[in-house]
Chain A
């Protein structure tokens, strides 16, 4: 009896171990930035002119940073969810327009001002068509701010607390279920403290 039981238990253990491994998403990489202050940046906003935005402008508020681009296919899937969420006015969402002008774009080699202008125009058209959930959007033209935030795929979403500390990061399209089950309770909790 024992002779059969021990290998069987070991085998089942191995199967469970491998099955759990199979189900895990290899794209889900834990961010080392959770619990750390949101990296500082100062970037031009989408709205135009010389207006700039910095995370310190949101000090004292719980807010969300959503990385997006008009060329990003998954963002299109995510966008209506964010628009509906923003209408409830529960938390300000700041957009980070990530590398709007891609290297393969003919305009990529244009001077910075021209590129920025083009990126703003494209983004504005896109937001007009799909709705604008952002209180403001900042233009990360060369993706440097993205690197500082550990962005490796668009869309990505961060929840940042009143003290400017990153509390949560999600890679991929945010779903209504994720908002309801994870993000909203977290925001409620962060708003209390």
Chain B
């Protein structure tokens, strides 16, 4: 009997640890992969950094704000896609030719669209994107307010008639 219980407990612990392992594994793997890949970038970009650290710093600054089109959820600064390499080369050249950050971003937007910007410009086309969540918040707040008001009206304080009050007094005395 005890054995069975032990088995059950062990099974439980085992299942828990497996599920925890599954839960944590992707994150750890991802963290390791990111660490490894950033190490790689540093290795490959090092000679260029030495060449012109100011330019590279600006390149990183600008490309962190830009999306890599191949991997989509990675910035141009961290992506290893070949296109990202090419686009970094392009940005480097634009920096060298004295273009401003805005001009460089415009260069990429003209070719790849607003999608390359992690922070798209505020313009009529992107209004929904920028203000939609706040609009939803306002709608929800108004809805909640109306609902609470309705409830308060429902729970109007019960007014005791004089008669009832008298009876209550009597009961309390007794």
Contact = CB atoms under 8 A, between A and B. Distances in A.
A46 to B, nearest CB: 21
Interface in B9-41: none
Interface size of A as a range = 20 to 34
Interface of A, helix, strand, loop or mixed by DSSP: loop
Interface in A108-154: 142-144, 147-153
A147 B109 contact: no
A33 interface: yes
Interface in A8-60: 26-27, 29-33
A32 B69 CA distance: 14
A143 B86 contact: yes
B111 interface: yes
Interface string B44-77: 0000000000000000000000000110100000
A32 B82 contact: no
A144 B94 CA distance: 13
A147 B87 CA distance: 8
A106 interface: no
Given A102-B82, A103-B82, A103-B85, A149 B111 contact: yes
B59 to A, nearest CB: 16
Interface size of B as a range = 10 to 19
Interface string B82-104: 11011100100000000000000
Contacts, number: 42
Contacts of B86: 142-143, 147
B113 A29 contact: yes
Interface in B91-134: 109-115
Contacts of A29: 69, 112-113, 115
Given A26-B72, A29-B69, A150 B112 contact: yes
A91 B83 CA distance: 30
B108 to A, nearest CB: 9
Given A103-B82, A103-B85, A32 B70 contact: no
A26 B72 CA distance: 9
Contacts of A143: 83, 86
Contacts of B113: 29-32, 150
Given A26-B72, A152-B83, A32 B109 contact: yes
A27 B83 CA distance: 15
Nearest to A31: B113
Contact of A152 (B70, B85, B90, B110): B70
A99 B82 CA distance: 10
A172 to B, nearest CB: 13
Interface of A: 26-27, 29-33, 99, 102-103, 142-144, 147-153
Given A32-B110, A32-B112, A144-B90, 20 more contacts: A29-B113, A29-B115, A33-B111, A102-B82, A103-B85, A142-B86, A147-B86, A147-B90, A147-B111, A148-B111, A149-B111, A150-B111, A150-B112, A151-B83, A152-B69, A152-B70, A152-B83, A152-B112, A153-B69, A153-B70
Q: Which 5 A-B pairs have the closest CB atoms?
A: A152-B69, A150-B111, A32-B113, A29-B115, A143-B86
9 contacts: A27-B72, A31-B113, A32-B111, A102-B82, A142-B86, A147-B86, A149-B111, A152-B69, A153-B70
